[in-house]
Amino acid sequence: MRIAFVGASGYGNVGDDTYPLVFAQQLPEHELVIYNSDLPAALPDDLALLVLGGGGILYNNPKEGPADAESPHFRAMKFYMDAAIARGIPWGILSCGFQFQINREAEYATALRPWVPYLKQAAFITLRSPNCVRIAQEISRRDDAQFFPDAAYLYQPTVDPSEVASQVVTLVPAGLVNARNTLINHYMRQFAASSTPTRWLGMGAPVDDDKLLAEVAERFPQSQIVARPGPQAAFETIARSRFVLTGRYHGMIFARVSRVPFITPVDSPYKIRMEDLNADISTAAGHFEVLRRFLPR
């Protein structure tokens, strides 16, 4: 059976590129077609199910006009949803999160207005934080949206246990975790004073990370830099760390899966701040239990 997933993979962001690997692992009996959320393409004729996800693709951030105007990203997502609706293809939202610019969470009801009629029509909605579920319920007036930890928690590649132990502290740049930040510089001085080796792991797309890692190379030439890793290499790097300081959401996820201690900045992006750290990460499988209910017999 052919299932299409619309997400943000393909740009080099490690977290987004992890989702297709998880989908293939969880649905080995089906043929999967992966589309990019910002590059609309025609859906195949024999499609059985359309899935939006995973990742932070539920947003609407217009560059101009009123706050609830349709952004280019939303129009791309709308293309897929309209195509499924017109053809009677079951569709839903899986392992997604609402994504807001920092300090703009209070405007969600207005910004997300174009999403409302589609949230009301989706066959299923599984979201990656309880707060995202609350927002979905408030704006759509439906109470069947469900929370499960992000599907990327199910990505657990094999790491040679003999190579796991390490004294290296890994920093994953994004947001406040950067070479210019005062607190990060303080940490780096402490690591240097205690002869603790450091490593910077780029998990963002090159357009985001290349500049950040160039600044790291200039300011901290003693640090190792791992640039443009795939999900497997990024997971192994974190699993072999003594400690992780991450500004990226999936840096936190990989650390939790690997049971490596981590911290994130207090003023982290919305998706990190809203993560339920008390949730059992194995329950991420619930996303796929829900999905299977809507596969045609």
Measured from the Cβ of residue 254, the count of other Cβ atoms closer than 10 Å reads 33
CA 205 – CA 227 distance, rounded (Å): 10
The tens digit of pLDDT for each residue in 221-271 reads 999 999 999 999 999 999 999 999 999 999 999 999 999 999 999 888 889
The tens digit of pLDDT for each residue in 131-162 reads 999 999 999 999 999 999 999 999 999 887 66
**Closest by alpha carbon to 253, among 197, 203, 180?**
203
CA 287 – CA 150 distance, rounded (Å): 9
pLDDT value for 103: 62
pLDDT value for 285: 98
CA 85 – CA 80 distance, rounded (Å): 9
Contacts of residue 284, defined as CB under 8 A and 6 or more positions apart, other chains included, come to 95, 148, 149, 150, 151, 152, 153, 154
Measured from the Cβ of residue 261, the count of other Cβ atoms closer than 10 Å reads 10
Q: What is the pTM of this model?
A: 0.95
Helices (H), ranges, 97-193: 108-111, 116-121, 130-140, 182-193
Per-residue pLDDT of the chain (297 residues; tens, 9 = 90+): 999 999 999 999 999 999 999 999 999 999 999 999 999 999 999 999 999 999 999 999 888 788 889 999 999 999 999 999 999 999 999 999 998 766 666 777 888 999 999 999 999 999 999 999 999 999 999 999 999 999 999 999 988 766 666 789 999 999 999 999 999 999 999 999 999 999 999 999 999 999 999 999 999 999 999 999 999 999 999 999 999 999 999 999 999 999 999 999 988 888 999 999 999 999 999 999 999 999 987
